[in-house]
Amino acid sequence: MNENNNNNNNDNNDKKRGFMGIAVFIMIALFFAAFLSRNMFTARESEMTYNDLLEKIEKTDPEQIKSVKIDPASNKITLTVKNETRGTTEYVTGIVGDMESLKQDLLSRGISVEGAVIEEESIFSLLLVYMVPSVLIMLFFFFMLRRSSGGGGGIFGVGKNNAKVYMQKETGVTFADVAGQDEAQDSLVEIVDFLHNPGKYTRIGAKLPKGALLVGPPGTGKTLLAKAVAGEAKVPFFSLAGSDFVEMFVGVGASRVRDLFKNAQEKAPCIIFIDEIDAIGKSRDTRFGGNDEREQTLNALLAEMDGFDSSKGVFILAATNRPEVLDPALCRPGRLDRRIIVDKPDLKGRLAVLNVHAKDVRMDETVDLNEIAMATAGAVGSDLANMINEAAILAAKNGRGAVSQADLFESVEVVIAGKEKKDRVMNEKEKKMVAYHEVGHALAAALQKNTEPIQKITIVPRTMGSLGYVMQTPEEEKFLMTKAEMDDELVTLLSGRAAEELYFDSISTGASNDIEKATKLARNMITRYGMSEEFGLMALENIEDMYLTGRTSLNCADKTAAEVDIAVREKLKTAYEGAKKLIGENREAMNRIAEFLLQKETITGKEFMRILNEVKGTETPEEAAEETSDGK
């Protein structure tokens, strides 16, 4: 505790020095401005010698001389001459000898002579002009310093924490509202139980963890989980974002941290939730940049987390998408003791999320949420909620009273690829090239063993830039990919470009996204998965940003990096040759399916497989019966 008090005293001393420095700077600026206003912004006159001035008076008509001003205080004589074109002109010289003879001469010629009254500035006027503004500014910083250091918030609320306190009746969120994160819920149930029954754990010597860090991609439900913990525990819920502590004033962030913990201990047991904690918890080394105010706020947070008594039931929940940038001192045991991963849901989790969001939406008998869950691999909770909402909007727009399966699949496409662009009309050549491109992808997927089945093929443009696409739906949830599956995926990705080259003797820009995905997959196979003969099991790349961009960085010599580029190029070249061979051997199927797609613009996976099986002579009796029934 003494160490914490010393840290607090040091923070206060640093803050006082900062405020005093600002005040002194403003005082100096005020004195400098006053000096400039009194001495530098006066009018400039034409200067001359005393003899020249006398000669000017002699040669000038007395009627044109407006006045002669003799000012002993400033030791100068000012001659003001009227001019018809330029108004008046002032000539200035210094006082030389006795001025009585000059005065008498001027008066005898009828020229007006003026004198200056010498007034001494009073002490009151000096205080009024110079000292009063400085004292007011000093008082402003003094009161702001006292209020912020004492936790009162300072003038205009500076230094006061902006936490929003939610009681259980206001959050209205429980674990029943959270789905697809069973492991994260299990970890948080213990916290809720401890807040409800602390004696159950303290009797055997267990201590409540001081905090937990929720880590995962955006949209997985980290904030929702934190509110659910507060709702289940029925305790006050302090909710802030990391940016709420960051201010332009020095020391204000640290003051807000102290104020927050003081209020939390008064309302214990309670939960403090800090969203996007990386805004203040970023590592203090130079790798991620430095900021004195942010580091001072982080130091105050670390000191408060060490200082408060966990037996009172104050629990800290924090969330971030970037755990790799957090300061190690923040994540050590005794502070944010637990790291709870809130990852993308699996098939079971996606189905549970869809059921939660669909319970208040009218669904017809065609709806099968399990199919939607299968088709949305990689989607997070916010994506799934958006899909349900888009389907409801689509059904209402079309005048239906309930959501159908077709609405749900259309909403999946809207979230993934955007809405249909009905105003974009492609010419026949472009449309045909897009059709062959997409059928090339579909053929490669259908004719290889380690690929996913085709759900849909379309050449209808979408708002996110695609002119067409092939939707594949996995038959089961997978968590690993074999080398054979990746090799087949490379062939599938490059089959669209292969179809363009074989059928049009030309290539287009439509394969840019395919090439980007294929290059990334081939590079990962070589640098991360150890699937190349050249480099064996060497890990040549590291992931720097796992949950946001997935950005990687090479961890090898420049010569090795050049060799990696060559290996990636060779792997893509091999896959492309395989794609051209596969497409070239199935020209008849390609032509039949492409013509059908050009007529329909969108075909299902069943229609695609039926034509393919007809051409290859492998049509099943069930497909033949279905075709006969459709013909009738």
Report the CATH number at residue 397: 1.10.8.60
Domain-terminating residue out of 417, 437, 472: 417
Within 10 angstroms of residue 415's Cβ, the number of other Cβ atoms is 17
- Rg from Cα positions in the chain: 40
Task: Please tell me which residue, 81 or 250, carries the higher pLDDT value.
Answer: 81
Assess whether 588 carries a catalytic annotation: no
pTM of the model as a whole: 0.68
Instruction: Identify the sign of the CA torsion 140, 141, 142, 147.
Output: positive
Same domain, 89 and 126: no
Q: In this prediction, what percent of the chain has a pLDDT beyond 90? A: 24
For residue 550, is pLDDT > 60?
yes
The two structure tokens encoding residue 588: 């008849």
Q: What is the pLDDT of residue 8?
A: 46
For residue 1, is pLDDT > 50?
no
Taking residues 207-232, report their average pLDDT: 85
Residue 313 lies in a domain: yes
**What average pLDDT is seen over the chain?**
78
Task: Give how many domains the chain has, as a whole number.
Answer: 5
pLDDT band of residue 523 (cuts 50, 70, 90) is very high
Q: Name residue 89's beta-bridge partners.
A: 81
Same domain, 495 and 460: yes
Domain-terminating residue out of 341, 374, 401: 341
Identify whether the C-beta of residue 564 lies closer than 8 Å to the C-beta of residue 554. Answer: yes
Q: What is the pLDDT of residue 488?
A: 95
Residue 157 lies in a domain: no
Q: How far apart are CA 524 and CA 489, in angstroms?
A: 13
The boundaries of the domain holding residue 21 are: 2-40+122-149
Least confident of 40-49, 66-75, 468-477: 40-49
Least confident of 111-125, 508-522, 575-589, 607-621: 111-125
Q: What is the pLDDT of residue 232?
A: 83
Q: What is the pLDDT of residue 591?
A: 93
The enclosing domain of 305 has a CATH number of: 3.40.50.300
pLDDT band of residue 572 (cuts 50, 70, 90) is very high
Render 11-75 in DSSP notation, one character per residue.
Answer: HHHHHHHHHHHHHHHHHHHHHHHHHHHHHTSSPP-EE--HHHHHHHHHHS-GGGEEEEEEETTTT
Identify whether the C-beta of residue 163 lies closer than 8 Å to the C-beta of residue 263. Answer: yes
Same domain, 335 and 353: no
For residue 624, is pLDDT > 50?
no
Same domain, 463 and 578: yes
Q: How far apart are CA 90 and CA 110, in angstroms?
A: 19
Taking residues 561-589, report their average pLDDT: 94
Q: In this prediction, what percent of the chain has a pLDDT beyond 70? A: 76
Q: What is the pLDDT of residue 176?
A: 79
Helices (H), 418-481: 428-447
Task: Please tell me which residue, 625 or 299, carries the higher pLDDT value.
Answer: 299
For residue 45, is pLDDT > 60?
no
Least confident of 177-181, 340-344, 349-353: 177-181
Taking residues 84-92, report their average pLDDT: 71
Residue 423 lies in a domain: no
For residue 161, is pLDDT > 60?
no
Place of tokens 């003899």: 51
pLDDT band of residue 494 (cuts 50, 70, 90) is very high
Taking residues 117-125, report their average pLDDT: 52
Residue 158 lies in a domain: no
Taking residues 517-544, report their average pLDDT: 90
Same domain, 571 and 555: yes
Q: Which member of 438, 489, 541, 607 is catalytic?
A: 438
Taking residues 470-488, report their average pLDDT: 87
The enclosing domain of 574 has a CATH number of: 1.20.58.760
Taking residues 505-523, report their average pLDDT: 93
pLDDT in tens, 235-294: 888 888 877 777 655 567 777 888 888 888 888 778 888 888 888 888 877 555 555 677
Residue 321 lies in a domain: yes
Q: What is the pLDDT of residue 360?
A: 87
For residue 7, is pLDDT > 60?
no
Q: How far apart are CA 367 and CA 352, in angstroms?
A: 15
Q: How far apart are CA 116 and CA 129, in angstroms?
A: 23
For residue 39, is pLDDT > 50?
no
pLDDT in tens, 304-333: 887 666 666 788 889 999 888 888 888 888
Same domain, 375 and 247: no
Which of 282, 276, 274 has its CA nearest to residue 305? 274
Same domain, 457 and 359: no
Taking residues 98-127, report their average pLDDT: 65
Residue 584 lies in a domain: yes
Domain-terminating residue out of 373, 388, 417: 417
H-run or E-run covering 602: strand 602-604
Q: Degrees (nearest 5) of the Cα angle 518, 520, 549?
A: 135
Same domain, 545 and 592: yes
The two structure tokens encoding residue 405: 């399966």
Residue 159 lies in a domain: no
Same domain, 264 and 141: no
Q: What is the pLDDT of residue 55?
A: 77
Q: What is the pLDDT of residue 266?
A: 83
Highest-confidence range of 62-66, 91-95, 295-299, 576-580, by mean pLDDT? Answer: 576-580
Same domain, 251 and 360: no
Highest-confidence range of 32-46, 129-143, 277-291, 390-404, by mean pLDDT? Answer: 390-404
Same domain, 405 and 544: no
Residue 298 lies in a domain: yes
Long-range pairs for 612-619: beta carbons < 8 A, 24 or more residues apart? 612/443, 612/446, 615/586, 615/588, 615/589, 616/589
Same domain, 327 and 388: no
